[in-house]
C-alpha cells in the first residue's frame, strides 16, 4: 500500500511537472526566439536553444521605440487604477455586507445589473462622457474611466461575507467609526483578496488595448499594448523582424511576471486567510 501511494504520488508529480512545462513553454519560446535570427526561428526542425544567442536584439528593440515611456505610462496608469479600485471596492463592499440601510438589496441588484452590460456597449457612451468632461487624451481620462470595477466590488464583497459580523459588531461596541472598522479590521483580515484584486486589475489594465487606444491620440500617452502594436507595424516591419518583436514582447511582459512573483505567496495563502478570519 505505501508503495502504491508513493507511485501514485510520483505519477501525480510527473503529470503536474509536465503540465507546468507545457504552460511555461510559450514563454521559453518567446525568450529564445528573441535571441535567434529570423531564419533560425522559421527553421524546421526547430532549434531549442539558439546557435549563437544574440543578446543585442533586446537592446535593439528597446532602442527602436520609446518603450520606457510606454511601460512607464502603463505602469503608472495601472497602479493608479489598482489603488483607486482597492479603495472604492473596499468601501462599496463594506456597505453591501456590513451596513444596514433601506433598499440594500436593490442597491446590490443595480450593481449586479451593471455587470451584465457588455463592455463593448458602453464604449461610445463612455467616450461621450469623457469628451464632455474634457478628459479625452489625458492620463486622468485613462485612470478615471477605469477606476470602478464591478468585478472588484464583488470580489471584495465575497471576501467580506466570509468575515463574521461579530467582528464588525465588536468594533462598533468599542466605538470605532465605519471607516476605522473597514480599514483596521476588515481589510487586514481579507488582505489576500485585495492582493488578488491588485494582481488581476494590474494585469487587466496593463494588457488593456482597445479602450485606451480609443480615448487617446497623443503618441506620448500610448500604453505598452498600443506601443507594442505600433512597434509590430513599424519597427517590426509588419512581422518581418520576428526576433525584435519577440524581444519587445519579452520585456513588456516582464513587469507582469515580477508582480506575480511578488504577490504569489499571498495568493497561495488566500484560502487559509479567509478560513482563519472566522476562527478568531
Partner 1 sequence: MNVFKKVSAVSLIAGLSVLTACGGNAAPGNAATAGGAASEVPVANAAPAGGAPVTIEFWYGLGGKLGENMESLIQKFNASQQEVVVKGIVQGDYTETEQKLQAAIAAGQVPAVVLSSNIAWARKGYYAPMDELIAGQPDFNKEDFVQTFLNQGQVDGKQYFLPMYGSTQVMYYRKDAFAKSGIDASQIKTWEDLAAAAKKMTVSEGGKTTFYGWEPMWGSGNMIDAALSKGGSILSEDGTKVTIDSPEWIDTWEFFRKAIHEDKTMRIHSGGQGWEYWYKTIDDVMKGQAAGYTGSSGDQGDLDFSVVSAMEQPGWAGAGEGKPVAGASMAGIPAQAGDAEKQAAMKWLTYFTSSENTAFWSINTGYISVRQSALQDPAFVAFSESNPQIKIPLQQAAHASAPFQDPTGGKINDALKIAADKVQIENIPAAEALKEAQQTAQAALDKLK
User: Max Cα separation, the chain?
Assistant: 72
Decide: is 30 part of the binding site for partner 1 (CB under 8 A): no
Query: With CB under 8 A as the contact rule, which of the stretches 61-69, 107-115, 138-146, 269-277 interacts with partner 1?
Result: 107-115
**Selection from 270, 110, 250, 115 nearest residue 189 by Cα:** 270
For residue 169, the tally of other CB atoms under 10 A from its CB is 12
Nearer to partner 1, 97 or 222 (CB): 222
Decide: is 129 part of the binding site for partner 1 (CB under 8 A): yes
Decide: is 123 part of the binding site for partner 1 (CB under 8 A): yes
Task: Please select the residue that binds partner 1; options are 192, 196, 232, 244, rule is CB under 8 A.
Answer: 232
Decide: is 43 part of the binding site for partner 1 (CB under 8 A): no
Q: Cα(210)–Cα(242) distance, rounded to whole angstroms?
A: 23
Decide: is 99 part of the binding site for partner 1 (CB under 8 A): no
Task: Please select the residue that binds partner 1; options are 229, 255, 256, 267, rule is CB under 8 A.
Answer: 229
Decide: is 219 part of the binding site for partner 1 (CB under 8 A): yes
Decide: is 170 part of the binding site for partner 1 (CB under 8 A): no
Quote the least distance from Cβ 5 to partner 1, whole Å.
Answer: 48
Length of the chain: 280
Query: With CB under 8 A as the contact rule, which of the stretches 6-14, 26-34, 81-89, 130-138 interacts with partner 1?
Result: 130-138
DSSP code for 47: P
Quote the least distance from Cβ 272 to partner 1, whole Å.
Answer: 37
Decide: is 217 part of the binding site for partner 1 (CB under 8 A): yes
Q: Cα(161)–Cα(158) distance, rounded to whole angstroms?
A: 5
Decide: is 133 part of the binding site for partner 1 (CB under 8 A): no
Burial 16-28 (b: 16+ CB within 10 A, else e): eeeeeeeeeeeee
Decide: is 240 part of the binding site for partner 1 (CB under 8 A): yes
Quote the least distance from Cβ 215 to partner 1, whole Å.
Answer: 8
Contacts of 112 (CB under 8 A, 6+ apart): 150, 154
**Selection from 271, 278, 91 nearest residue 167 by Cα:** 278
The distance from CA 182 to its chain's CA centroid, rounded to whole angstroms, is 24
Coil vs helix vs strand at 62: helix
The position carrying cell 505602469 is: 75
- Tell me which residues touch partner 1 (CB under 8 A): 103, 105-106, 109-110, 113, 123-125, 127-129, 131-132, 136, 213-214, 217, 219, 226, 229-230, 232-234, 237-240
Amino acid at each position: 500500500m505505501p508503495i502504491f501511494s508513493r507511485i501514485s504520488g510520483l505519477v501525480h508529480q510527473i503529470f503536474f511537472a509536465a503540465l507546468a512545462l507545457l504552460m511555461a513553454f510559450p514563454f521559453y519560446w518567446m525568450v529564445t526566439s528573441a535571441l535567434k535570427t529570423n531564419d533560425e526561428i522559421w527553421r524546421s526542425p526547430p532549434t531549442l536553444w539558439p546557435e549563437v544567442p544574440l543578446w543585442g536584439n533586446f537592446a535593439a528593440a528597446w532602442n527602436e521605440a520609446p518603450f520606457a515611456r510606454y511601460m512607464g505610462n502603463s505602469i503608472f496608469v495601472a497602479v493608479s487604477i489598482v489603488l483607486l479600485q482597492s479603495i472604492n471596492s473596499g468601501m462599496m463592499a463594506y456597505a453591501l455586507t456590513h451596513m444596514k440601510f433601506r433598499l440594500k438589496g436593490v442597491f446590490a441588484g443595480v450593481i449586479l445589473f451593471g455587470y451584465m452590460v457588455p463592455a463593448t456597449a458602453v464604449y461610445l457612451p463612455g467616450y461621450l462622457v469623457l469628451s464632455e468632461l474634457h478628459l479625452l487624451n489625458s492620463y486622468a481620462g485613462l485612470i478615471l474611466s477605469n477606476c470602478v470595477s464591478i468585478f472588484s466590488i464583488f470580489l471584495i464583497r465575497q471576501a467580506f461575507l466570509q468575515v463574521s459580523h461579530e467582528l464588525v459588531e465588536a468594533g462598533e461596541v468599542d466605538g470605532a467609526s465605519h471607516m476605522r472598522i473597514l480599514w483596521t479590521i476588515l481589510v487586514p483580515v481579507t488582505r489576500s483578496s485585495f492582493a488578488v484584486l491588485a494582481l488581476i486589475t494590474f494585469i487587466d489594465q496593463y494588457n488593456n488595448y482597445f479602450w485606451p487606444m480609443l480615448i487617446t491620440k497623443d503618441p506620448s500617452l500610448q500604453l505598452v499594448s498600443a506601443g507594442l502594436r505600433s512597434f509590430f507595424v513599424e519597427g517590426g516591419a509588419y512581422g518581418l523582424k520576428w526576433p525584435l518583436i519577440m524581444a519587445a514582447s519579452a520585456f513588456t511582459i516582464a513587469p507582469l511576471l515580477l508582480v506575480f512573483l511578488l504577490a504569489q505567496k499571498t495568493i497561495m495563502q488566500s484560502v487559509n486567510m479567509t478560513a482563519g478570519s472566522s476562527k478568531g
